[in-house]
Structure formats: C-alpha cells, structure tokens
Amino acid sequence: MKSDEVSVGKISKLSFKTKFSYGIGDLASNISWGLVSSYLLIFYTDVYGLSAAVAGTLILIARVWDIFIDPIVGLFVERRDSKFGRFRPYILIGAVLTAIFNTLTFVTPSFSDTAKIAYACITYIILGTVYSVVSISYGALATVMTNDTNERTSLNSFRGFFASISNVIVGASVMPLVSILGNGNNQIGYALTALVLSLISIPLYLMVIKNCKEVIQPPKSQYPSIKESVMAVATNKPLLMAMIFLLLMFTALFGRLGIVVFYYIYVLGRPDLIALLMMGFGIFTALGAILVSFLANHMEKKTLLIVSCGISAVGLIAMYFTPSANVMMITILTLVYSISVGFCSPMIFSIIGDCIDDNECKTGKRADGAIYSMTSLITKVSSAIIGGLTAFSLASIGYVPNAQQSASAINGINIVVNVIPAVLYIAAMLPLFLYGISKARAMENSKELERRRNNILNV
C-alpha cells in the first residue's frame, strides 16, 4: 500500500504529492470558470453586443436552471461506483465537456440578434450543467480522501492556494491574450482565449484523477436513499448555517469579481491596471490561503471566517470613500481585501467536510454528493444574484457600453462594486455564530467514524 493510500479504518494522513495534486484541480477549475466569473458580463455587453438587461436576464435564467440540476448531479454521482471510485470518473467527463462549452460560450456567431440571444442562453446553460458535474465531483472527492479534520484544512489550503494562483493567471493573461490572439478583434480574441485556457485545464484535472484516491469508501448498504440525501441537507443545522454563510459570502465575492473590471475602466479610468490589479488580487489571495493553514492550528474555523469577512467589509468600504485618483491607496486596500478573501476558501471546504462527517455520525449515512452539490449550487446562485442584479443595476444607473459614463453612473458602479459586497460580508458573519461544529467536535466525529469502520473491517 502506498503512503497516501490509507485504510478506511485509519485517520487518513495525506502526502504532499496528494495535497499538491488535489490543489491543482482548483487551478484547473478556476482557470476555466474564472474567465466566466470575471469577464462574461463585460464580454456579453461590450463585445457580444447584448444590452445589460438582456445579459442579466440570461444569467438569471441559467442559474434558475442550476437550482434544479445541481442537486440531481449530486444525488447521481454519490450513488455510482467504479474501480476508479465514485467521483473521479465524473471529474474526467466533466472536465472535457466544460472545456468544450467554455470555448463555445465565448464564441460570437454571425446570427440575427434573436438567434444570438438564444445561442448565448443555450451555451451558457449547458456550460453551467457540465461544470456542475466536474465541480461537484471534485469538491466531494476531498471529503473521502481523509477523515482527519486538520488534514482537510491542510488539503483545502492547497486548494485555496491554487485557486488564488488561478486568479493571478486569469487576471494577468486574459486581456493580453484577447489583444494578442484577436489582433484587434475582441470577438476572435475572447474565443481563442477561452480555448487556450480550457485546453490548459484538462491535463491538470488528469493529475487529480491519477494521484487523489478515495480512501473513505462506505459500504453500498450505507449509500443514502434519495430521501435520506435530501434530509441530510434539510435537517443538518450546522450545514444550513454554513450554506447561508456561503450564499452571502459567495454573492459578495463573485458579484464583485463579475463587475470589478467596470470599476477599473470607468471609475478609476485606468484600464491599463486591470491585469496588474487582478494579478495582485490572485497573489495576495494565495498568500492568505497559506497564512490561514497556520492560523487554523490556533483558532476555530468559524472564528477565522468571521475575521475574514470583517476585514473584507472594512477594506471595501474604505475603498468606496477613497478618491479614484489615489491609485496607491486603492491598490493597498485591494491587496488587504485579497488576503482576507484568501482566508475563506480553505475554511469553507473544510467545514463542509466536517458537516458531512457530523451527518454520518448522526444518521449512519454518508451523503457526500448531495451535501456538496449544495455548495456548487450556492456558488452559482450567488454568482447569479449579484451577477444578474448587477447587470440590471448597470442599466438602471444609465451605463452605456464603450462610452464616457455620467457622474451618477460612475458612483453607481462604485456602490455596486464596493458597498454592496461589504454589506453582504457583514451579513455573512451572522450565521457563523450559530454554526455549532467546533474543532473538538469534528475530531470526536472523526474518531467515532474510525471506530465504526474498524468494526466493519473486523466483521
């Protein structure tokens, strides 16, 4: 048995190779999806030719579809088994399909206006669906790689680090690639950029499939029924508090990412800073992900999340009141905000694993897919809430693509980019006070599940 393939009856310690390979998966995921979360809205309005209202409607339609499809995907993958495990085969399938439809989403066809809207809607909905397959499977994989809560935090620190590195890559490369590959034609530039980033993601996913093993493999008798999977979500109070937190925090994070380019272009008047500030965001988010792995040894997970949200809110409010000409201060505040965001990612996915263990201790059923599908769903729904409402807000404040904005429009963009996310970060702190799984309780759950699996092995 290899060093990173530990019996299900043991507290599973993971090798550096395993953690590194798993983290690479989030690099793959965010290189591809990061293009969507950060640039799709401005692509739709300024390149594809949709109005802000139409783009917002399209995004909301796609996310409503996800409300139905994500739980179905989660229920499906957790009940399927193969010699490669329950989740890894779907990472491969989802990765290939995501690469294809990520590229098609950024293609601008020579259709009529109505046909272009239909094309955009269809490709974006399919992209969200296939991305659900890979993201739910990838996220659930971490919950069956180890049953040690500290190892999960460490594992997800690697994930958070590489997610941040992906922000550096996307932030630094997208606009230059669009310019170089398009040679002045942004429609061609975006399509080829999406193709390049999508092709990069596939071999990175293959590293995950090769090196990350599913060491927690519950007997088929412990696979939950559909009703039990639904109840694992609906009756799990710590999970529900975590989901409310995720909804508010992700809405703030992804909503801001989806429109911050407008802030750089129209509020600061510095489109030349897009690559630099987006790259800085990624680098300092990665730094935060590294720091949090050390802080987690001395603090409760929910405490770190509360601190992260507080720093984020203060930084964004300060940014709103900073004059646009003071680029140095805005840069400093952006980097402070970035570090605090880096605290979140490892803790988020670690507490989801703790919630899955807690539910298994109470019910005897391990609903990895169903529970993790809620994380994927909330990621996309939160992205849509501000993504869609942001598009409508742009229309309501009088935003005109590729033009000099009015003073009220500039202030409106500043509010949407900084003030609204700050309020959401403050609200996200509240459910954490009701999240009841401490580090001590998580360790007790790990030991109890270890005891149960040892009993199964000894039967």
Q: What is the pLDDT of residues 419-455, one digit of tens each?
A: 989 999 999 999 999 988 888 888 888 788 777 766 6
**Does residue 9 have a pLDDT over 60?**
no
Could you tell me the two tokens for 213? 């093993």
**Does residue 389 have a pLDDT over 80?**
no
What band does 310 get if pLDDT is binned at 50, 70 and 90?
very high
Enumerate helices (H) and strands (E) in the chain, giving the number of each.
15, 0
Q: What is the DSSP string of 65-98?
A: HHHHHHHHHHHHHTT---TT-SSHHHHHHHHHHH
What is the amino acid identity at position 389? L
Of all residues in the chain, what percent carry a pLDDT higher than 70? 85
Among 266-275, 379-388, 403-412, 431-440, name the one with the lowest average pLDDT: 379-388
Write out pLDDT tens, residues 127-170. 988 988 888 888 888 878 877 777 777 787 788 788 778 877 88
**Does residue 391 have a pLDDT over 90?**
no
* The pLDDT of residue 225: 60
**Does residue 7 have a pLDDT over 50?**
no
**Residue among 409, 51, 55 at smallest CA distance from 265:** 409
* The pLDDT of residue 90: 86
* The pLDDT of residue 2: 41
**Comparison of pLDDT for 358 and 10, the residue scoring more:** 358
Could you tell me the two tokens for 83? 């010699």
Whole-angstrom distance, CA of residue 91 vs CA of residue 135? 8
What H or E segment, with its residue span, contains residue 171? helix 149-182
Among 51-65, 381-395, 418-432, name the one with the lowest average pLDDT: 381-395
Among 100-109, 125-134, 186-195, name the one with the lowest average pLDDT: 125-134
Among 26-30, 91-95, 353-357, name the one with the lowest average pLDDT: 353-357
Q: Angle CA(182)–CA(390)–CA(315) in degrees, nearest 5?
A: 95
Neighbours of 444 (CB within 10 A): 16
Whole-angstrom distance, CA of residue 414 vs CA of residue 263? 7
**Does residue 217 have a pLDDT over 70?**
no
Q: What is the mean pLDDT of residues 236-244?
A: 86
- Tell me how far CA of residue 443 lies from CA of 221, 418, 439, 449, 450, in angstroms: 25, 38, 6, 10, 11
pTM: predicted TM-score of the whole model, two decimal places: 0.66
User: What helix, strand, coil percent values describe the chain, rounded to 5?
Assistant: 80, 0, 20
* The pLDDT of residue 219: 57
Q: How far is CA 21 from the centre of its chain?
A: 18
Neighbours of 434 (CB within 10 A): 14
* The pLDDT of residue 427: 96
What is the amino acid identity at position 448? E
Could you tell me the two tokens for 417? 């980019």
CA dihedral 168, 172, 175, 181 (to 10 degrees): -110
Q: The tokens 């975006």 sit on which residue?
A: 190
* The pLDDT of residue 320: 95
* The pLDDT of residue 356: 80
The total number of residues written for the chain in this structure:
459
Neighbours of 200 (CB within 10 A): 15
> Maximum Cα–Cα distance for the chain, whole Å?
74
Q: What is the mean pLDDT of residues 192-204?
A: 93
Q: What is the mean pLDDT of residues 99-104?
A: 94
Whole-angstrom distance, CA of residue 184 vs CA of residue 381? 34
- 3-state secondary structure string, 108-161? CCCCCHHHHHHHHHHHHHHHHHHHHHHHHHHHHHHHCCCCCHHHHHHHHHHHHH
Averaged pLDDT score across all residues of the chain? 82
Whole-angstrom distance, CA of residue 414 vs CA of residue 58? 24
Contact between 390 and 229 under an 8 Å Cβ cutoff? The reply is no
Whole-angstrom distance, CA of residue 163 vs CA of residue 287? 11
Tell me the domains of the chain and their CATH numbers.
16-458 (1.20.1250.20)
Among 60-64, 244-248, 260-264, name the one with the lowest average pLDDT: 60-64
Contact between 148 and 11 under an 8 Å Cβ cutoff? The reply is yes
What band does 412 get if pLDDT is binned at 50, 70 and 90?
confident
**Does residue 4 have a pLDDT over 50?**
no
Q: Who's near 338: CB < 8 A, 6+ residues apart?
A: 280, 281, 282, 283, 284, 285, 287, 288
CA dihedral 379, 381, 386, 390 (to 10 degrees): 120
Q: What is the DSSP string of 243-305?
A: HHHHHHHHHHHHHHHHHHHHIIIIIS--GGGHHHHHHHHHHHHHHHHHHHHHHTTTS-HHHHH
**Does residue 3 have a pLDDT over 50?**
no
* The pLDDT of residue 118: 95
Max mean pLDDT range (69-73, 330-334, 410-414): 330-334
**Comparison of pLDDT for 59 and 249, the residue scoring more:** 249
